[in-house]
A and B are shown apart, each in its own frame.
Chain A
Amino acid sequence: MTVQRIVDWIEHRTGLESALRSFLYEEIPASSGWRHVLGSVALFSFLVQAFTGILLAFNYAPTPGDAYNSVRYIMTELTAGKLMRGLHYWGASMMVVVVVLHMVQVFVWGTYKKPREATWMAGCVLLVITLGFGLTGYLLPWDQRAYWGTVVVTQIAGSVPFLGPYFSRLLGSDGEIGVVTFARFFGLHVLILPPLMTAVIGLHVYLVRKHGVMPEPGEVERKKFFPEQAYRDTVAIFIAFIILFVAAVAVRVPLERLADPTDTAYIPRPEWYFLFLFQALKLFEGPLELLGSLVLPNLAIVLLFLVPFLDRSKAVRVSRRFAAMGVVLLAFAGWGALTVTAALTTPKSTEIAVDTTGPETWQELSPEELAGIGYFRAENCASCHPPGKAGVGPDLTKAAIRHNAAWMIEHFKRPQQLVPGSSMPSIQLSNSQLNSLAAFLLKLNPKNSEALQSAPRFAVDGAMVYQRFRCSACHQVNGVGMRVGPVLNGLVSRRDRAWVVENFANPQKTSPSSIMPPYNFSATDLEAITTYLLNLPAPAS
């Protein structure tokens, strides 16, 4: 009773109930059926994208570097974060699929004919906006695929005759992709496109209602939308949602390494629904390239817009629309062939096989490399780069196959210069210490990382003392260093601890002909270097 009174009160003040009623009890042709559900599914896909997008934005920082770390945070630290990103990621693909299927249905049945031309054209705008969402959203995780995919897109925009430079400036990609590009793409993705999409969906739905669902030629019988057609829409939406949910839970959503503009080994590929454009571009060379990158894609969109005006024939039953079916089949065949070719010609993996010939334990490292472990620990590198895992920063066990020592040292000093957007602080070490750190990282690989991390403290400290006092200027360890003095491998079989300690303090006393200067180490340093030297492996035979 009270519920009814509340409903009545609301109806009296707002007319909400009667509005809803007239919406649900709209008259539609009696022949309406399952083929009419795709528009509703497309709308639902958009709502899911808006919903999951807002949730992602609650834990996302839209700047390079932070973007990557926050996406990683969403996926690894937050419960259900992986699911949210999965829904948004696969939801994007689903939306493209559903929108295209919806258009195919309308096209084959020829329901764009007079007076529904504007409905079709608004639909074409929605397709373009949908693709725009895909294009701008692709950059936002700021990983390798995002970065390199966007490089290609902005280059194409910049290659437009006359207007190219202005497009570049508008996209913030004048010169290079960076923080400005990122902000522009983010702004488009979350501030411009969603309200635009909402407005055009409103127009589209308004036009659908205004003209009504197109009846079969000669059909006069009508029925209500609710509940039968509403039931069909619900079932279709439910099936689409199940597929999306399963994909989000079961299929891995890619998040590659942090974008690295200096990586020359990376092979960029666009999202699957743009692959055909990417492949088509290969068919055009030299001055014809603009044809493939700009003229044809834009011509296709213009043609799509003009479909109602190109086909002005009388409406006939779908079973007699052979030309329309032919066009769709041809388009799918072309799209399929290009996409499959692109997929097949993409090299399997961009990761170079990891070198496993490196040392197995700390004993085989040179003192310089071993000291690098010390700096690695002292600088707390592992808090962001846990070896063998991806942390805030990349997994360094794979660093050596991508970068050389010179790159690393430059990067240690000024991290943001080589990796824009990196949140790494610069490392305040001397050049020789940085050399040492780079030398260690070059040795690090997934197989030996465990063994190296467990290198004992005495050895690491000892090696750091060894480096600090430049012992390698006269001595050799593990084949590294000069041979002015004796090779230090196997020292333990020649001398005892007391002798070594004595020798540091007064070399000429223990070996009269020695030219070694005396070293007055602190107690801790003496302990460390002596223990280290006495634990060196025997010389290789």
Chain B
Amino acid sequence: MSTPTVKTDRRGFFLTAIYGLWSAIGAALAIPSAIYLLWPPRAKRKNEWVEAADVGELHTRAPAEIVFRRNRVDGWKVTSEKANAWVVKTSGGQVVAFAPQCTHLGCAYHWDEDRHNFICPCHNSAFSLDGAVLSGPAPRPLDRYEVKLDGKKVIIGPLRGRV
């Protein structure tokens, strides 16, 4: 009776080794692959601050669409591209810069002089001068860029909350 047991033991050992080692190889390939594909890239280069406008050109409570150049990190490339923002000088002398996309689905909105609102042409979202949603489907107020004032220069940074 002992021979079959030895044979079974041997067979069991082979099977365990085969499944065990292949699982180890599979895991050693699958785990790094998942990390490689799913982990976000290390953001080594942060969005830079760029000089975008002159405070002297802004009128209080009258939004101005300003265009500036900024570098954008796109995978392995840094592209220098045109960017724009709606800039508002508040009565308190503060400067606010809104990202130019509607927070609903990313359409470009514009300033409606008559209604004194920002209006999105896609689904009629309306935003007040301070970016708050007045009507329409927009889920949150307008996104803002970080802004610094250096003397008379308006310096625009990354989107708020995305540094």
Contacts and interface: CB of A to CB of B under 8 A. Distances in A.
A81 B40 CA distance: 12
Interface string B25-53: 10011001101110101101100100000
A384 B29 CA distance: 33
Contacts of B24: 238
Contacts of A192: none
A186 interface: no
A425 interface: yes
B21 interface: yes
The DSSP consensus for interface residues of chain B is: helix
B82 interface: no
Interface stretch (A71-79, A115-123, A199-207, A467-475): A71-79
B101 interface: no
Contacts of A72: 76
B77 A423 contact: yes
Given A55-B36, A66-B76, A80-B36, A238 B14 contact: no
A55 B76 CA distance: 16
B39 A235 contact: no
B39 A234 contact: no
Interface string A42-53: 000000100100
Interface stretch (A165-173, A225-233, A440-448): A225-233
Contacts of B15: 227
Contact of B22 (A76, A78, A234): A234
A78 B76 contact: no
Contact of A384 (B36, B39, B48, B78): B78
A79 B76 CA distance: 14
Given A383-B48, A392-B76, A81 B18 contact: no
A241 B77 CA distance: 34
A84 B77 contact: no
B41 A230 contact: no
B18 A234 contact: yes
Nearest to B36: A80
Interface string B2-33: 00000000110011011001101100110011
Contact of A66 (B11, B77, B80): B77
A61 B14 contact: no
Give the size category of A's interface with B: 35 or more
Contacts, number: 82
Contacts of A80: 32-33, 35-36, 39
Given A61-B76, A380-B71, A76 B45 contact: no
A79 to B, nearest CB: 4
A282 to B, nearest CB: 38
Contact of A230 (B14, B28, B29, B71): B14
B75 interface: yes
Contact of B18 (A61, A231, A383, A423): A231
A245 B128 CA distance: 58
A120 B15 CA distance: 32
Nearest to A248: B32
A190 B42 CA distance: 28
A231 B17 contact: yes
Give the size category of B's interface with A: 20 to 34
Nearest to A237: B25
A73 B41 contact: yes
A162 interface: no
A59 B74 CA distance: 12
B76 A70 contact: yes
Interface in A290-348: none
A78 B71 CA distance: 21
Contact of A238 (B11, B25, B36, B76): B25
Contact of A235 (B21, B29, B32): B21
A234 B17 contact: yes
A58 B37 contact: yes
B41 A78 contact: yes
A238 B18 CA distance: 10
Interface string A19-33: 000000000000000
Contacts of A59: 75
Contacts of A77: 41-42, 44, 76
A227 B36 contact: no
B21 A79 contact: no
Given A78-B36, A81-B36, A383 B71 contact: yes
A55 B33 contact: yes
Interface string A62-73: 000010011011
A163 to B, nearest CB: 38
A529 interface: no
A83 interface: yes
B58 to A, nearest CB: 21
A186 to B, nearest CB: 16
A84 B36 CA distance: 8
A101 to B, nearest CB: 20
Contact of B77 (A48, A69, A78, A81): A69
Contacts of A234: 17-18, 21-22
**Top 4 A-B pairs ranked by shortest CB distance?**
A73-B76, A227-B14, A69-B76, A80-B36
13 contacts: A48-B29, A55-B37, A72-B76, A77-B41, A78-B42, A79-B39, A84-B36, A228-B10, A228-B14, A230-B18, A231-B18, A235-B17, A383-B45
Interface of B: 10-11, 14-15, 17-18, 21-22, 24-25, 28-29, 32-33, 35-37, 39, 41-42, 44-45, 48, 71, 75-78, 80
Given A78-B39, A425-B80, 15 more contacts: A51-B33, A59-B75, A61-B76, A76-B44, A77-B41, A80-B32, A80-B33, A84-B36, A227-B14, A227-B18, A230-B14, A230-B18, A231-B14, A237-B21, A392-B76
